[in-house]
Amino acid sequence: MSTAYHPQSDDQTEVMNRILEHAGLTPFEIVYGKPPPTLAHYLQGTSPNEAVDSMITSRQEIHHKLQRRLTKAQDNMKKLANTKRWDISYTVGQWVYVKLRPFRQRSVTGSLHPKLSKRYFGPFQVMERIGQVSYPLQLPEGACIHPVFHSSILREHHGPPPPSPDTSPLQFIAQKPVSRPLCILSSK
C-alpha cells in the first residue's frame, strides 16, 4: 500500500490490488481459474516406492523449515517495526503541540523563512477524540487548515497551561511580518 508521502508502487499495481481485494480471489485463482493446489500431509511409509517416499518426506521437511524461517522473519520484522511505535492518547482539554510543515501551512506557522522555523507549533487544546488516533484541536482564528490531526504528529505539552494558544508574537499580513514595538523609549 502506498500513500502520497510514501509512494511505493505505481497506479496500475494499486488498481490491480483493489480489484483483487474486491473480487475476494488470490492472484493464482485469477490467472488459472482454480484455487491453488494444497500440499497434502504425507504419512511416511505409505508409498510402496522407497524413492518416492524419501522425496516426499524431504519435501515436507523443507516445507516445514521454510515455514519456521518465514515465521521467524515475520516476528523479527514486527519487532523492529514496533520499536519506534508507541500507543499514546490525549484527553479532552489537554494541551498539545502540532508538527506542521511550515512551507505548506503558513496560516498557522506564520513563517517567512520556513527552513529556520520551528517544527512544533502550539500549544493547542484538544477538543475531542475521533476514533482511536484522531484529535480535533482548537486552532487560532486565522488558521486555514483542517483542525483534525493524527496522534503521530502531536506532542504533549508539559507544565502549566499557557495563558493563550497564540504561538507567534508577530502578526502577518500578506506573508510579511508586521512588528509592533513594546514601548517607545525616546523620540525627536
Query: What is the pLDDT, as a whole number, of residue 165?
Result: 46
Which pLDDT tens digit goes with each residue over 99-138? 877 555 555 555 566 666 677 888 899 999 998 889 999 9
Q: Which amino acid is at 142?
A: G
Please tell me the distance from the alpha carbon of residue 170 to that of residue 168, in angstroms, as a whole number.
5
33: left (phi over 0), alpha (psi -120 to 50) or beta: left
Query: What is the pLDDT, as a whole number, of residue 117?
Result: 67
Quote the cell numbers at residue 116.
Answer: 529556520
Query: What is the pLDDT, as a whole number, of residue 175?
Result: 56
- Report long-range pairs for 175-184 (Cβ below 8 Å, ≥24 apart): 175/106, 175/112, 176/112, 177/110, 177/112
Q: Name the strand (E) or helix (H) holding 23.
A: helix 11-23
CA 57 to chain CA centroid, Å, is 44
**Mean pLDDT, the chain, whole residue set:** 78
Alpha helix ranges (H) inside 24-151:
27-32, 50-81, 106-109
CA 17 to chain CA centroid, Å, is 20
166, 140 in Cβ contact below 8 A?
A: yes
Query: What is the pLDDT, as a whole number, of residue 169?
Result: 44
Terminus-to-terminus CA distance in the chain, angstroms?
67
Q: Name the strand (E) or helix (H) holding 97.
A: strand 95-99
Can you give the pTM of this predicted structure?
Answer: 0.47
| Of 139, 146, 106, 144, the residue nearest 124 (C-alpha) | 139
Which residues make Cβ contacts (< 8 Å) with residue 167, sequence separation at least 6? Answer: 108, 110, 121, 122, 140
| Residue numbers of the chain with a pLDDT score lower than 70 | 1-9, 102-117, 164-182
